[in-house]
Structure formats: C-alpha cells, structure tokens
C-alpha cells in the first residue's frame, strides 16, 4: 500500500495494518508521539470494560454529574436535563459522541491511575489518557488530555478487532461502545457510510473508529472491514498554534485520501 502525498508543514504519525495479523501495510513516522485529543478516551473505556468483566465494577451503577465535572464542547450530556446516568449509558455517550462531561464523571469514578495501569499492562507505553478534560490547563496539569503514536494506536485497533485486548468479551464491549461513533469526517469520510449507523455491513463495509479534535489536531483511529479483508489504521496530524495558515482543510482532505487508499485495499 502506498500513502498519498501529505502536507509537509504538518506533523504526521500514520500506520496502517492488516487487522488479522498486525502486519504493517504503510506508515509515516509511526513512532512520533503527538497530541491525540479524545482518542485517549479509548483507554478509559478499556479499563471500564476490564473492571466490569472482572466483577470489580457494576455497569448499572449510576453516576451523578457535579459542577467540578463541567466542561465545554463535545457531547450531549451538557445539553440534557438529567443529572445521573449508569456507567454503561455514559460509555455509550463517550463512544458515540466523545462526551466530555461523561468522560470526566467516569474518570472521577475510575481514576486516571487505574486507566494508565491497565493500558501499560497491555503494552501501550507511549499512548495514554493523561488527564480529565479541562477548559484551561495550568502548568501544574498534565500537558494534554491524551497523547500517542500511530504505531501503538493502530495496533490497539487491530488487537480489539482480534479480541486480544483483555479478553474477547472486553474487546467486544469496547468495540460496541465505539461503533456508535458519529464522526466520520476524517479517514472514514472515504467509506461512504451513514455516520449514525455503520456497525452493520453497508455495501459490504463495517467500521469502528474513534476520532480526536482540537484546534491544532485531527486524529482518527479505527478498524474497517470490506470484502477483501480488514484494516486497522491510525492517522494523526498536528500543527503549531501559530501556523501562518490553518491547514485543517488540507489535512481533512489528505486523511480522506488515506481512507480512499484503504477502501481500495479492502475491496470496497
């Protein structure tokens, strides 16, 4: 597989793998660690699924939001009247709409240290959820919400696909939550799928993906299956705050071009 041309004024970390074997099909700076915005929420969902499978956590437990959890931007809960949801419901909000408020309430209940310990035990040493979501970061806070590289994150998606993250049941639960993701604006734009319903085959294609967006980052990690096979991918792009030109439109087009290359590979 050959990647399309990518902007050289953007930092990229890209890795595309055969999902069944984890064999690398194409890459660009796969070891480069970049901010990954909401992609790190995957590690929170993994720890919750692990703890539930181990009998350490009841997914029916209700969690109540507090003023300390409040945060702006992505998600639905901050628009809703209800103050409490079950852990399972909150995981659907995180998986489907990257809900920041749900992320903070879950993180308060589970603990960043537990999330980090589980991700490290699974072999992820350069990709992690580092903190809760914050509107503003002080020098005392972690430098970003999450960070990682395409090598590890594409491997994460391949292992989830094979049922190798924790156990088959843990992997399956995480994939179900994330299959609700409604953001197909990046790599996944090339697949021509319904953003609100793509967990079942559509023209022979199924997709599970998680995206991350801040003003200087676009990231998309996922696993897509077509008639000719399954591919796990991680495509991360980052640029400076003071860039002379905001490159996001180019970046999104180039991410979609990577998706088109993947689509051809899976026979779709």
Query: Which pTM value belongs to this model?
Result: 0.97
Give how far Cα 231 sits from Cα of 48, 66, 99, 261, Å: 25, 40, 26, 11
First to last CA, the chain: 15
Is the confidence at residue 243, as pLDDT, over 90? Answer: no
Is the confidence at residue 72, as pLDDT, over 90? Answer: no
Per-residue pLDDT at 73: 82
Per-residue pLDDT at 244: 84
Edge-first strand order for the sheet with 206-214 is: 24-28, 11-18, 229-238, 217-226, 206-214
Range scoring the smallest mean pLDDT among 12-21, 70-79, 107-116, 215-224: 70-79
Per cent of the chain over pLDDT 70 is 100
When pLDDT is averaged across residues 173-200 and rounded to a whole number, the result is 97
Which stretches within the chain are classed as H helix?
A: 41-53, 87-97, 100-110, 112-121, 150-162, 168-178, 248-265
Q: For domain 11-265, give the fold.
A: Beta-lactamase (3.40.710)
When pLDDT is averaged across residues 197-217 and rounded to a whole number, the result is 96
**Token couple for 125:** 């040493």
- 71 — pLDDT class (breaks 50, 70, 90): very high
Per-residue pLDDT at 74: 86
Per-residue pLDDT at 38: 98
Question: Angle, to 10 degrees, between the axis of helix 87-97 and the axis of helix 100-110?
Answer: 140
The structural domains of the chain, with segments of one domain joined by +, span: 11-265
Per-residue pLDDT at 208: 98
Average pLDDT score, the chain: 98
Q: How far apart are CA 44 and CA 135, in angstroms?
A: 19
- 51 — pLDDT class (breaks 50, 70, 90): very high
Per-residue pLDDT at 184: 99
Per-residue pLDDT at 242: 84
pLDDT in tens, 93-143: 999 999 999 999 999 999 999 999 999 999 999 999 999 999 999 999 999
**Token couple for 187:** 């790599």
When pLDDT is averaged across residues 24-34 and rounded to a whole number, the result is 99
Identify whether the C-beta of residue 191 lies closer than 8 Å to the C-beta of residue 254: no
Identify whether the C-beta of residue 201 lies closer than 8 Å to the C-beta of residue 192: no
């Amino acid at each position: 597989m050959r990647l399309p041309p990518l902007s050289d004024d953007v930092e990229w970390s890209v890795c595309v793998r055969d999902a069944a074997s984890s064999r690398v099909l194409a890459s660009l700076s796969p070891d480069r660690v970049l901010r990954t915005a909401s992609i790190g929420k995957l590690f929170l969902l993994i720890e919750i699924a692990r703890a539930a499978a181990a009998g350490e956590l009841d997914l029916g437990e209700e969690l109540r939001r507090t003023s300390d959890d409040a945060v702006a931007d992505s998600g639905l809960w901050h628009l809703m009247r209800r103050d409490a949801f079950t852990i399972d419901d909150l995981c659907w909000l995180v998986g489907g709409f990257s809900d920041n408020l749900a992320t903070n309430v879950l993180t308060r209940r589970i603990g960043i240290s537990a999330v980090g310990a589980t991700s490290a035990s699974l072999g992820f040493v350069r990709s992690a959820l580092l903190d809760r979501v914050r509107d503003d970061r002080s020098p005392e806070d972690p430098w970003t919400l999450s960070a990682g590289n395409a090598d590890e994150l594409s491997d994460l998606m391949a292992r989830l696909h094979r049922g190798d993250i924790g156990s088959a049941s843990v992997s399956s639960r995480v994939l179900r939550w994330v299959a609700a993701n409604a953001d197909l604006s990046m790599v996944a734009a090339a697949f021509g799928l319904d953003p609100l319903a793509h967990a079942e085959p559509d023209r022979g294609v199924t997709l599970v993906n998680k995206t991350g967006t801040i003003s200087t980052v676009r990231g998309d990690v996922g696993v897509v299956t077509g008639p000719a096979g399954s591919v796990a991918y991680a495509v991360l792009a980052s640029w400076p705050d003071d860039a002379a030109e905001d490159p996001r439109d180019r970046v999104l087009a180039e991410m979609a071009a990577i998706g088109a290359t993947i689509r051809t590979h899976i026979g779709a």
